[in-house]
Structure formats: C-alpha cells, structure tokens
Structure 1
C-alpha cells in the first residue's frame, strides 16, 4: 500500500522503496501566473481528497543550457516542463512518522535561470538511507524570479525559498523531520541564495545550520547594475519597466529575450560585475551578503572546488574561479567567523574529473555527485559524463556525503573549525 502523509494543506500520497519514502510535487505556495509572477509567494489554498505525490512537478520556465560535449543534463534536469504549479518541494524521508530526524533543505543552482528538483543529481536516496530527511526546492527563475522592478518585491526567487523554509517549519514533522534541526544548503546560485538567507531578517529561526557550495558572499548586484538589466529587458520587449507591463508578457517571451541580456556591461564606477558576465540575474541588495550578516548562532560549512572556472571553458578559468567563487567564499567565511556565535567550517574539493579528455578537472559542480553519494551512477561516466570515463575514487563519496550528514546531525562535519590563515592566507 502506498504511504500517505497528512499535511496542513491536505493528504499527499507518496511511494515507498528500499531507501524509505518519496513524496514529490508538494506545493509550498500558490501557483504564480500572469501578474502573480511578480508578487510575493502566496499561501497555497490546499486540496481535498488525496493528492498524488508520486510524480515530479512542472518546472520554472527556463532556457536550454548547452555545454557542448559535456552532458550537464543530470545537473540542469529536463529544462522547462510546462505547468503553473511549480513552486513545489520533493521530500525524501526514511518514513513519514514521528522520528524527529535532522532535515536538509537543498536549493539548486543554475545561474538564477535554470535548474529544478527534477535533476538526477539531487536524488536523496542516500540521505534517507542515512537517517536524514531531504527537502529539495523549486523557485522562480529568470525574469519572474530576479528582474528588479520598482513596483514589485525584489528577489522574488529568494522569497520563494523563504516560503519553502516556512513550509518546512510547519510541515516537515509530518514527514519524520525535526523542524528545530534544519540545515539549508545550496550550490552555485543556490549557494548564493543560501548566503543571502544569513543576511535576511525574515529567515531568522527557520534553520539551524547552512552549507554554501561554490557560491559567493559577494555575488549580488547593486541597484544600479540591476537597473541596467531591467532597462535592457524592457527595451527588448518594447514595454515599460513595470510589474504591470511585465505581468502581461507570456513566459516564452522572457526566454526569447535572454540572448539580448547576455553580455551586458554591468561595471559601474563603484562595482565590478559580481558574476563575471555568466548571468544577467542575481540577487539585488544594498550591501553584499557577506557584509550584512545578522550574526546569531547558525553553524556554517562553506567551500569551493579547486578549479571552478574549468566548467565554463574560459581562457582564464583560474582567474574566473577565484574572482567569482573563491574571493566571495573567503569573504563570507571570514565574516561569519567574526559576526556569528555559530561555528564556521571550510572545505576545498580537489578531485579532478577526467571528463573532456581530462581537462574538466575539479570544476564547478563536480563535488555534487559525492555530496549526494551518486558518484558511481553510470549516467555520470563515459566520454560525455560529468565525472568522465574513469570510476569515482573509492571512499570519496562516502567521506563527503558522510561529512554533510554529520554536519546536519551535529553541526560538526568531522574536521577542525575555520582558520583564515590556513585556508585563505
């Protein structure tokens, strides 16, 4: 018999396997459509009867990303799967009981324009196997999620993540999780969003720990930079730069104008482009997250891969990786250690993938198969696979995944606390 969980919004049916139970496509907010795409997330009205949670949800509108020979589908997922009700979470749990297990909430990456809970890399079987409840989150992307408009709330994608964390607080106990032991973690854009939560007053009390994987504590746009993107988007669409005008435009047109936004010069007299031209969207904040941390007692685990920029095939990948990820990570680690009563831990991931004839190396995203303990999956190997033709090294996934599990359970990944001199000089 299929398992069922009774949430405050209604009963949801999942499926059971040897790893535990999986509940998919559970809405944490009302579907954003029309002008509502530019409003704060609204409470979901709930449902009667039993909701089918055995299949995946639609995804946020997003473009196709092409990395040439490298198969990045396990990272990006299937792309845009149409349907309005995509503000959803998937829940992997050992059992929907009263177990009060530690909870990990994952915020995916994708440059603020792509990604979803449907990506194969985010399979939570290993977390459920190891006694952790994993919640993965969809949020608004691109123009609806992050275009800055004077008559709309800023950072709507971040507001979605906040709403999802509120859902976790109110609902995860139904799925065997402990709402008082929540760790939010993200990678790339998801990591930058996670860092911003540490500087967001509304996030206080929603989580106990945070993990920032290959993000940046200095990745936010200034209002002036965001205004350039908004002006370019309005010009490409031939409309005024208001939420009312954008609310009438179909999502297809937002994707069609993305090439017109790529490569905008966002340098100003006071700021460089914090994303080095890799995305026209980011958070829009008066100060960088690393400079606006709220303190408190949230424990932080933060780090990067050693060759982040290799994923992008840039002529200067080392400089790109250091500018975009390394410097912002170092600044966030230092700021957290200074301002927080929580512990700070730093990692550096150096395993070199043999993909692309050995050139990919320890690139952006390569740590994810090890965090989720799926590094032996055949779809990550071969000539086009993210990890290349060679098998994953014995024991590395167990060590890295185990460190994430230990951090979620106890706040200690298994090594010493942060030392600025040791890690960043």
Structure 2
C-alpha cells in the first residue's frame, strides 16, 4: 500500500505494510556537490509533485563493504551518489501525534555511514517513530587544514542538520519533536558524545543512547592539520578546501586509503599524533575550537549536555572483533606487546599508553589463561570504549538528566565462540531484527539460534528509555555505579570495572 506525507519541502510517498509506514531516502540537506562539496550542509531544496520515498537514497562517499562477505557480518544495500544527505523514517501512523522519536546514527570507524543498513520497522511496530541517517565520513566529513578553516567536522554538522530536519518535520510523521532520542553505535555513538558537548546541538534531542562509543575519540587541531596537509600532498594540490573539493571523489578515496595505510605501516606518534596512531583513524572529529570548542568529555564534565537523559554502555568483549576477524589474535606475542609503537603499531600496548608488564599483570589477574592476543583485545576494548563509557557516565551524573549504564554480554557462537560479545553484536537485539539474519549488520555473527527473548528485553528497554527516560533498572550514580548486564539471564551488577578504571586513570 501507498502512504503520502506532506513535508515543508514537498510531499513524499512511502510504503505501508503490516501497520508500519516507511519513507526512505528523504533529503535533509542539499546534495554536497559542486560549490557545496566539502562545505557545511545547506537546506534541502523544495520539490514539486510527490517524491518517491520507497527506495533507499544514495549514501556518502566511502570505501565499499565487500559484497561477497563470507561470514555475512556486514550489510550495506545502498550505493554512493550525490544526494547522499538523506534519512529514512518508519512510523506506525503518519496521522498520529506525540509519538516518541528515535534517531539512529550508524557506525563505521568514521570510514563508513549507511543509514540504509538498518531496519527501523520494529520500533515503529511498537509505537516509536524511527529515523536512520547518513552522514559524511573520512576526509569527506573530517578534513581539516588548521586555523581559519571554516569546514571542520562536517560529519557532526550533518548530524545537526538531520536533527534540525527532525525538529521541523517529524510531527508530519506522527512524532513529537520534544521527545527525540538520538542513539548510535561505535562511531555513531562517538558522534553523539560530541553532540552532547556541542553548542550547535543544544535543544535538538531530549535523550541519548551511546552503544560502544563515548566522548573521547577526537583529534587535536594541530594533528588534524598535519593530516590534512599530507592528504593535499598525496593529491598533488594546494592544502586548501577549495583545491581538494575539485578532486574527483574516487581519487579522494584512494588518497584517504593511502594515508590509512601509511598510519598502519609507519605508526610514528611524532608524525601522526598519539590519538591517530592508537585509533588508526586519520580522519575523525577535530577539536577545532568552534564546532567542538574543547574535548567533548571535558565539556560534559563541566556540565554540557547535563539536562539530557543518557544511556551508555559497551559489549563485554567489544574489541575482539578486530583481532579475531583480522587473524592476528594468535600472532601477538609478549615481545610484540612490549615493542615500540613504531615497530608493532597497534600490537604494542605502548600505543595505548600502558606498558606490557602492567597490561599482562592486570588482565591475567582477571583470567590467567589469557594469551597475549587476548590481553591486547582487552586493552583495546578498555581504551576504545569501556573506560570512556564509564567516564562519560561518571561525568554526566552531576547534571539534571538521568544516567543509566549497560553491558551486552551474550557471546556469538560462531568461530568456536572466539568473538565473544564483540563489537556491534548487540545491534540486531536492540532493533529486534534477529529474524533478518544476514540482511542486517552483524547478522552473520548470530549463529543458528540467537535468543529472541534477549532481543525483546533489550528492544523494550530502549523503547522505555525513549518513551519516559526509564529503561527498567536503577540509575547510575557514583555510590553504586549500577550496570545492567544483558545476557540470557539479565541482571544488575555494581561497579563491575572498578579495577579497569583505576588501571587507566591518568592514561585514558
């Protein structure tokens, strides 16, 4: 069946199936091409007639996921194209009013962004208007040339533009612009941590869910400017935004890939900066002094975003994803852990600010059977997401908004269970889409019989949080630090990672 909605930019027609209406590929900003390439988002133009919203719109420039992914872990049905700043909406009833709204920011290591990889229909089935967005990544979204560059952090400004669209248009789809929850995973969650701190995002959302990402992954301006200069050098153009904007998209992606390879092959902190070497992400949010006035966690500690309700958490074995699927978890040795960054790169604990002796002693005290590769995966989990999430929770407790914390602990059964409860595995549970199998992100890691009851429990908790700010367990506070652990038998645990937070004090 067909569904038609009148927006301020024109009418759109979507699809109505089983009590859920979907509207795909709606532009929230003008196509970032021509004079708008590598520039902040501008309002989308109006259209006449009725716009087709039954198929996904194009996604921003980015490397391609492998289409023949043998494990069925990655799912991206969209194609790159000019009109890429678009979003998708699922609603139970466009004629309704006052429904809670959830806006999803997809992850992808600041290399990828595809709102079309996620199906929001189950949220709509359960009374929520769900929106998934595209945003610019890589050099396209985070190129920076230093002081005076007025195009910093375009990927974050895309989020702001999408949320402004939600404020203006979501009532036409049955949603309440005063009841907006942003939620995201990995780089998407890190962007939400940034939004909590950004003056330009104030008032655009009431609640926030950060899944395996917090408010720490940012690049100092000087380091980002050096990377921008190197990109221009690789391209053979002047180090200006205008010059790079004239480079064909595919050539820019090739140059970006070259710099990625240079960071991995020669991880010199003096050249790239410590944050880039540890994260291996040359292009991600920049503390430019304007879009991001200061490191986000510092601003949150000082009270920014304090009136927003926050739910933040990680997966128990978050960063095992890379070492296991990358094939190097069994290649890491104790000598590699103790090696200099310039030789071993991210195999060295020094890249993350810990000595190998300290890391081995701490993580083997938790589990003496851990191999050097297991220790590295635990170090990466804590550096990337666990400790940042807990520090964000600590910082946010001083505000008027509620703070809640969670951990997803159900382990993937594939590869003999070696992935554990790895990065992104929680997404099909949150979206309640286990039945989509490999037609969703991480579907191939679910195995033959994933626990549907756990999906229903998590999905319901996210909806409760978006609806009234209470997911169903005690608030996180500095006395008890309560964390809901989602597994076959969900339970609340208190301060489960006190030792890890103490280990990383002054380091991360």
**Is the TM value for this pair above 0.5?**
yes
CA contact (8 A) 2:32 2:83 kept: yes
Bigger drift between 414-423 and 135-144 goes to 414-423
Matched, 1:398 2:441: no
Distance 1:226 1:216 in 2: 20
Match of 2:309 among 299, 310, 332: 299
Bigger drift between 302-311 and 413-422 goes to 413-422
Number of residue pairs aligned between Structure 1 and Structure 2:
417
CA drift at 1:380? 6.8
Match of 1:149 among 127, 137, 145: 145
- Structure 2 counterpart of 1:224: 222
Match of 1:137 among 112, 117, 133: 133
CA contact (8 A) 2:187 2:213 kept: yes
DSSP 3-state at the match of 1:379? coil
Higher helix share: 2
CA drift at 1:288? 2.2
CA contact (8 A) 2:228 2:239 kept: yes
Match of 2:206 among 205, 208, 211: 208
DSSP 3-state at the match of 2:95? coil
- Structure 1 counterpart of 2:231: 233
Distance 2:306 2:94 in 1: 31
- Structure 1 counterpart of 2:445: 387
Bigger drift between 143-152 and 181-190 goes to 143-152
Judging changes above 3 Å, is the alpha-carbon distance between structure 1 residues 321 and 98 closer, same or farther for their aligned structure 2 residues? same
CA contact (8 A) 2:397 2:477 kept: no
CA contact (8 A) 1:152 1:243 kept: no
CA drift at 1:42? 0.6
- Structure 1 counterpart of 2:335: none
Judging changes above 3 Å, is the alpha-carbon distance between structure 1 residues 222 and 279 closer, same or farther for their aligned structure 2 residues? same
CA contact (8 A) 1:111 1:278 kept: no
After superposition, residues 87-102 of structure 1 pair within 5 angstroms as 87-102=85-100
CA contact (8 A) 1:188 1:215 kept: yes
After superposition, residues 293-372 of structure 1 pair within 5 angstroms as 293=300, 294-313=304-323, 314=329, 315=373, 316-338=376-398, 340-372=399-431
- Structure 2 counterpart of 1:253: 251
**TM-score (normalizing by structure 2):** 0.78
Matched, 1:124 2:88: no
Runs ≥4 residues deviating over 6 A: none
Higher-Rg member (1/2):
2
Bigger drift between 144-153 and 45-54 goes to 144-153
- Structure 2 counterpart of 1:283: 285
Distance 2:98 2:472 in 1: 23
Judging changes above 3 Å, is the alpha-carbon distance between structure 1 residues 266 and 185 closer, same or farther for their aligned structure 2 residues? farther
Q: Deviations over 1:53-81 (max 9, x none)?
A: 0111011111124597533322xx146x1
- Structure 2 counterpart of 1:199: 197
Distance 2:191 2:460 in 1: 24
CA contact (8 A) 1:35 1:248 kept: no
After superposition, residues 105-120 of structure 1 pair within 5 angstroms as 105-119=103-117
CA drift at 1:275? 7.5
Distance 2:245 2:35 in 1: 4
Q: Which runs of 5+ in 1 are unaligned?
A: none
